[in-house]
Structure 1
Amino acid sequence: MQSPLSPLQTCVVHQQSALTVLRQYLQDQRHLGPARPSPAQPPGGCSTLSQGGSSRRIPPPAPSSKRRTILQVARESRLTRFIGFTSGLLNLEQNSLAPLHLHVEWKLSAELRNLCSRMAARDDCLRLDADLKAIEQCLREIALQLLSSLSSDNSATQLHTIPALKELCQKYLEV
């Protein structure tokens, strides 16, 4: 019989699930952007048609009507930051925090997983900004919870991990 997961291991599982959803959602959103040139198309954008000894240049196809807006690019940027933060957080939890017995609540990680899943399941973009804001807030609360738990820990790992976690927050989250 398997031993039950520690709260930190449970958090890692939830965060890995959320990270997978975020990556897939970002990939899906990028496919909604402008069409990419086909690999057969030369770098200059025009191709040549030979007909009866003469050749003429064919202009590239008209730009896709599915151009990304500035808002879509901004959302994509936020998703990329969330993916970077979650990846870094998972790396920190799995490599530095795993041996410690920290008091962490898995509820925030479960909420993160649920928020990401709900956002990815939506057909419209009406609530997307609210979803992104909620995901960012949840990531921030997870980081604060870890910082709080680490500051009550008196191990040598704390000296290395707290600055690494703070740097991760500054790099990816709007503090």
Structure 2
Amino acid sequence: MARSVPLCVSLNHQLVALQTLQLLHHQQQGEDARPCHPHYKLDQASSLLSTGMSGPALHDMGQGLEAARSSRVQEQEEGRRAASKTSEEEQEEECGSQALSNPGEPGPKDSRQLDPARPRTLTQIAVHSMLSRIVDSASQLVRVEQNLLLPLFQEHPFPIHLKDSIEFRNICRHMALQLEGQRFDRDLHAAHQCLRNIIKKLMHSLAVFPSDLYAIAQASLRQILQNLPEI
């Protein structure tokens, strides 16, 4: 319904962030950079959120979701082009230097992916562990929002802090352009804290409702939060 729009918009930003995180997770594992298939997609959200809608509400929601899809595709394409261009330029410079100093030897591997044959450092292990935890928690949050919070929100709207979901999406998008190094680590910590803030604010919004259904939703959010301890 029309009044569920704030939660729908917030959910869409989180879905974009989740897809970006899952792609990063593949790259951290040293796998080929290929399209990621998250558990929850915008198409699935569109089908679920449009249930029971009709007339202007459905039209407005459809336009909103379509705009979100178009924006996501454009942002991802621009990010891929920028990342590809940077990687190609770096590779050309490295290969050129390598050829001048050691002709006949192959150039270095793309540093954007981990070499499976090279042991990981403790820092890399810690970063990968945190990224895995954030991916799992973001996926669980989306599931709770779609299955529990959306029906409750349609009956009794509660405060939605859209700014946090937008920030979470932007942080994840920025992480995708870094992939490693101190700036990536800072973004990873920021994404961790931002996800915690989203969950805590949702729990606070639900606390004013005494219904058992709201209590179940709060418990589900609390369990997700336990997987994201303070750092």
TM-score (norm 1): 0.75
Structure 1 counterpart of 2:187: 131
- CA shift at 1:124, angstroms? 4.9
Aligned to 1:153: 209
Check whether the contact 2:199–2:221 (CA below 8 A) recurs between aligned residues. yes
Shift in CA distance, 114/68, structure 1 to aligned 2, threshold 3 Å? same
Distance 1:107 1:24, change over 3 A: same
Change in 2 beyond 3 A, CA 1:34/1:124: closer
Q: 1:91 to 1:22 in 2, by over 3 A?
A: same
1:19 counterpart = 2:18: yes
Residue of structure 2 aligned with 1:82, choices 131, 134, 154: 134
Q: Which structure: greater helix fraction?
A: 2
Structure 2 CA distance for partners of 1:72 and 1:102, relative to 1, 3 Å: same
Q: Which runs of 5+ in 1 are unaligned?
A: 36-63
Residue 5 of structure 1, CA deviation: 6.1
Q: Which moved more, 1:119-128 or 1:131-140?
A: 119-128
Structure 2 CA distance for partners of 1:169 and 1:98, relative to 1, 3 Å: same
Aligned partner letter, 1:24 = L
Question: Residues 4 and 166 from structure 1, CA distance in 2 versus in 1: closer, same or farther, beyond 3 angstroms?
Answer: closer
Superposition map of 1:70-149 within 5 A: 70-99=122-151, 100=153, 101-122=157-178, 124-149=180-205
The change in CA–CA distance for 1:74 and 1:123 in structure 2 (over 3 A counts) is closer
Paired letter, 2:123:
L
Compute the displacement of 1:69 (Å).
1.4
Q: What displacement does 1:133 show?
A: 1.1
Conserved in 2, the CA contact under 8 Å of 1:8 and 1:102?
no
The amino acid across from 2:215 in the alignment is: L
The 8 Å contact of residues 4 and 150 in structure 2, kept in 1 or not, is answered as no
When residues 124 and 89 of structure 1 are mapped into structure 2, their CA distance, relative to the original with a 3 A threshold, is closer
Larger Rg computed on CA atoms: 1
Aligned length: 144
Amino acid at match of 2:228: L
Structure 2 residue runs of 5 or longer lacking an equivalent are: 31-112
Instruction: Give 4+ residue runs of structure 1 displaced > 6 Å after superposition.
Output: none
The superposition leaves residues 24-70 of structure 1 with CA deviations (integer Å, 9 ceiling, x where unpaired) of 011112113343xxxxxxxxxxxxxxxxxxxxxxxxxxxx3x43212
RMSD over aligned Cα atoms = 1.9
The Cα of 1:161 is off from its aligned counterpart by 1.0
**Per the alignment, do residues 157 and 6 of structure 1 end up closer, same or farther by CA in structure 2, a change over 3 Å counting?**
same
Structure having the higher strand fraction is 1
1:173 paired with 2:228, answer yes
